[in-house]
Amino acid sequence: MRKTLLKIIYPYYCLSCKNELNDSYLCRECFSAIPLLKEQLCPACEKPSPFGKTHATCRQKTPLSGVFVAMDYKEKIVQRLIHQYKYKFVKNLAEPLANILIKSLAEQNKELFFNTNTVITAVPLHPIRLRWRGFNQAQFIAQKLASRFNIPYENLLIRSKNNPTQKDIPQTPLRQKNIQGVFRLNDIPNVKYQIESPIKSNIVIIDDITTTLSTLNECATTLLPLKPKNIYAIVLARGL
Lowest pLDDT segment from 1-5, 34-38, 102-106, 203-207: 1-5
14 & 125 share domain: no
Distance CA 210, CA 93 (A): 18
Query: Helix, strand, or coil here: 175?
Result: helix
117 & 215 share domain: yes
Q: CA dist 179 to 94, 121, 122, 172, 219, Å?
A: 25, 18, 16, 11, 9
pLDDT score of 240: 61
Lowest pLDDT segment from 56-60, 71-75, 136-140, 184-188: 184-188
pLDDT category, 118, cuts 50, 70, 90?
Answer: confident
CATH (domain of 208) = 3.40.50
Distance CA 41, CA 66 (A): 9
Cβ–Cβ contacts within 10 Å for residue 16, how many? 18
Tell me the average pLDDT across 201-225.
93
Asked if the model's pLDDT at residue 5 lies above 50, the reply is: no
Q: CA dist 151 to 9, 20, 172, Å?
A: 38, 35, 34
Asked if the model's pLDDT at residue 206 lies above 80, the reply is: yes
219 & 185 share domain: yes
Number of domains present in the structure of the chain: 2
113 & 23 share domain: no
Phi first, then psi, for residue 60 (nearest 5°) are -80, -5
Query: Helix, strand, or coil here: 176?
Result: helix
117 & 149 share domain: yes
Q: Domain limits at 12? A: 1-33
90 & 181 share domain: yes
116 & 128 share domain: yes
Going by C-alpha positions, the residue among 198, 4, 29, 222 that lies closest to residue 123 is: 222
Asked if the model's pLDDT at residue 134 lies above 90, the reply is: no
84 & 169 share domain: yes
28 & 118 share domain: no
- Mean pLDDT in the chain? 85
pLDDT score of 111: 67
Asked if the model's pLDDT at residue 194 lies above 60, the reply is: no
Distance CA 170, CA 202 (A): 32
